[in-house]
């Protein structure tokens, strides 16, 4: 009997569940409006900003160029002063060396005093003034380094020509195609260049290292 009563109760509960109406849901979408309180730049404001940026770029470049020009002068002073006590020492007289060293020191002091914040062109002019003397010293050094090699090359060429002339004089068949006029011209040119070579050698021998050169490597070549 108890079992029967429980079965009836369960069946009744299921029937009641079936009788309950199902809940329906409805989705409503509302548009979301987003607004910004910040306005865009006007064309006038953009132009002003662009001009300010360009002005800053130009100012930065001027400062950079000015500092580079100043550093170039400073480096030249240090470099030349060191070289005057080493590789360039023989290529300037003692009196001229003292004067130039004094000028280099004055320039160094100027860089940290009146020349601390000059315009780029001022540094360019200062460097050019120092190089009027410095470049002449460097030219003497460079010419001295290359002079002997150039003379040796010219001397070797003249030796080769003399050997050819000796072969021609001994009737070497390799030169049978040369006419008498060709041989005469070759002999004259050999004598001419031999004289030039001797002149170069004499000037090179008398050349004082601290004086401006009498002959150049370009002239020998």
The answer to whether 115 and 70 have CB atoms below 8 angstroms apart is yes
Centre a 10 Å sphere on the Cβ of residue 100 and count the other Cβ atoms it contains: 18
Residue 13 has pLDDT above 60, yes or no: no
Q: Higher-confidence residue: 7 or 110?
A: 110
Q: What is the reported pLDDT for 30? A: 64
119-123 long-range contacts (CB < 8 A, ≥24 apart) are 119/66, 120/62, 120/65, 120/66, 120/69, 123/66, 123/69, 123/70, 123/72, 123/73
DSSP 97: H
Distance, in Å, from the CA atom of 149 to the CA atom of 126, rounded to the nearest integer, reads 36
pLDDT value of residue 23:
59
Residue with tokens 């009737």: 171
214 Rama sector, left if φ>0, alpha if ψ -120 to 50, beta otherwise: alpha
Interior/surface letters 5-24, b for 16+ CB within 10 angstroms, e for the rest? eeeeeeeeeeeeeeeeeeee
What is the rounded CA–CA span in Å between residue 67 and residue 138? 26
Contact 212, 136 (CB under 8 A): yes
- Residue-level pLDDT at 185: 93
- Assigned token pair, 44: 């006038």
pLDDT at 10 over 80: no
* The model's pTM: 0.68
Q: How far apart are CA 192 and CA 27, in angstroms?
A: 114
Distance CA 146, CA 89 (A): 18
Q: Where do we find the tokens 């008398």?
A: 206
pLDDT at 48: 75
Integer Cα distance of 49 and 44 in angstroms = 9
pLDDT tens column, 172-219: 889 889 899 999 999 999 999 999 999 999 999 999 999 999 999 999
Gap between the Cα atoms of 153 and 161, Å rounded: 13
Q: How many CB atoms lie within 10 A of CB 67?
A: 13
Residue 100 structure tokens: 């130039």
């Amino acid at each position: 009997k108890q079992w029967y009563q429980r079965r009836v109760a369960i069946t009744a509960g299921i029937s009641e569940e079936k009788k309950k109406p199902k809940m329906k849901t409805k989705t409503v979408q509302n548009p979301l409006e987003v607004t910004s309180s910040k306005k865009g730049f006007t064309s006038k404001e953009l132009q002003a900003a662009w001009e300010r940026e360009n002005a800053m770029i130009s100012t930065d470049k001027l400062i950079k160029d000015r500092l580079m020009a100043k550093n170039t002068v400073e480096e030249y002073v240090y470099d030349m002063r060191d070289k005057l006590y080493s590789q360039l020492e023989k290529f300037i007289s003692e009196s001229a060396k003292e004067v130039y060293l004094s000028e280099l020191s004055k320039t160094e002091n100027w860089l940290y005093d009146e020349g601390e914040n000059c315009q780029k062109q001022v540094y360019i002019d200062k460097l050019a003034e120092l190089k009027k003397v410095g470049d002449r010293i460097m030219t003497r050094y460079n010419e001295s380094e290359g002079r002997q090699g150039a003379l040796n090359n010219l001397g070797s060429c003249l030796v080769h020509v003399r050997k050819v002339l000796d072969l021609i004089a001994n009737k070497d068949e390799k030169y049978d195609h040369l006419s008498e006029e060709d041989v005469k011209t070759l002999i004259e040119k050999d004598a001419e260049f031999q004289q030039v070579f001797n002149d170069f050698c004499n000037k090179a021998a008398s050349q004082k290292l601290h004086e401006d050169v009498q002959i150049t490597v370009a002239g020998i070549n």
